[in-house]
Structure 1
Amino acid sequence: MIKGFIFDLDGVITDTAEQHFLAWKKLSDEMGWEFDREVNENLRGISRMDSLRFILDHNEISLDDETLVELATKKNVVYQDLLNDITPEDFLPGAKEILTHLRTEGFHVALGSSSKNAQKVLEQLSATGYFDVVGDGHSVTKSKPNPAIFLFGAEKLGLQPEECIVFEDAEKGIDAAKNGGFYSVGIGPYERVGHAHLRFDTMAEATLFEIKSYFKDLF
């Protein structure tokens, strides 16, 4: 039986992709690196350090670990400043509704995000009250597609993976959910998250009614 839900943050609850893009773009321009929206799309769902390594690999650049940390920190300062613009109006359509329904019906809810700024984003959205557990980039060391962040959330909720449904918008996120033995709901195009158990184009379509209808044998 499904007792818990675990949500990714970016692209599921809200969309901070633009803030990430602008922060990486500013750093890349300062460093003279090639970086555009096509490259940025490959950063969806992965950690800050892994994102930086991807950009460096794309530019065929190698840097020592100390410099990597300095640059990642520099990007994050820009990103955090941009996060101050987020308000409770910035929930993705449908996200607040399903979180409210889950609260009303007594389901356990966790966040499972690779972002180290997840707590800040939730506070800006006034969304902390919807989550029993917040798993973020500080909670585990291994990034998606490793299932560590979702396993962390399930453990803190006191549930087994097969008792949870994961919401994700990234290919690596769906991979992580499946690798951990979770049921998965993909948000986004088929070519990105079509391997999820169930897929919707947007969160607005992913109502609790639709979820229960599809996984009817699990409720």
Structure 2
Amino acid sequence: MKKGFIFDLDGVITDTAKYHFIAWRDLGAEIGVAVDLKFNEQLKGISRMDSLDRILAHGGKENDFTMDQKEALAAKKNTHYVELLQSLTPQDLLPGVKEFLDAANAKQIPCAIASASKNAPFILEKLGVKDQFAGIVDPATLHKGKPDPEIFVKAAELLNIKPEEAVGFEDAQAGIDGIKACGMYAVGVLSGEPLHGADLTCHELTELNIDELLQK
């Protein structure tokens, strides 16, 4: 019997990937690196600084900036991203999310967020569902990013359960790998590329039966 649900944010609860893409694309244009939709797929599920490092390497500029300059670039991207997020409303929840969270809360099954996004609390507030999560992992406390399982282990700790007692939801391969690495049941939310290693896949949460998941 599972005792908790742990969710990635982007691509699972809401789709802010388009805002990340716009912000990275515009920053890339400023520093002379083309960021297109195909390359943007490599930035999903990883931290802001790791994303910037990949962009700089992609443009052959990995040695062109000091750490202070890179931090300034990452901060500039985030400022632009947060500006774009101002338009988020509860209507931007992905299909089935509100109903799934309501059902989990009705059954007193706690939920947590395991996202590399430092903006997760703000985003959940804009979406009107922050109160439905018992815990949100603070990315600043992490030593390693996905696919390392650390973030999922911490999320389980926030819910006072063991990783194997939780169901994890992810839309990125790095996330699925992290979920499985700590013995957690993995639900892959498909948006394009196949997710290898997921125990169950769906295109949206409307396809899932919460009672069946709790029995996994």
**TM class by shorter-chain length?**
over 0.9
Identity over the aligned pairs, expressed in percent?
Answer: 44
Retained in 2: the 8 A contact 1:12–1:92?
A: yes
How far did 1:204 drift?
A: 2.6
State the secondary structure of the residue aligned to 2:144: coil
Q: Deviations over 1:78-125 (max 9, x none)?
A: 001111010011100011111110000110111110100001100101
Q: Spell out the pairing of 1:67-78 with structure 2 (5 A cutoff).
A: 67-78=69-80
Gaps of 5+ in 2: none
TM-score of the superposition, structure 1-length normalised?
0.93
State the secondary structure of the residue aligned to 1:165: strand
- Residue 57 of structure 1: aligned partner: 57
Q: Deviations over 1:153-172 (max 9, x none)?
A: 11111111110010000000
Q: 1:49 to 1:88 in 2, by over 3 A?
A: same
- Residue 202 of structure 1: aligned partner: 204
Gaps of 5+ in 1: none
Q: 1:189 to 1:195 in 2, by over 3 A?
A: farther
| Correspondence for 2:187 among 185, 188, 195 | 185
- Residue 124 of structure 1: aligned partner: 126
Return the alpha-carbon distance in structure 2 between the equivalents of residues 204 and 53 of structure 1.
Answer: 36
State the secondary structure of the residue aligned to 2:139: coil
Q: Spell out the pairing of 1:56-205 with structure 2 (5 A cutoff).
A: 56-62=56-62, 63-188=65-190, 191-205=193-207
| 55-64 vs 151-160, which moves further | 55-64
Q: 1:9 to 1:30 in 2, by over 3 A?
A: same
Retained in 1: the 8 A contact 2:2–2:213?
A: no
How far did 1:32 drift?
A: 1.3
- Residue 37 of structure 2: aligned partner: 37
How far did 1:141 drift?
A: 3.1
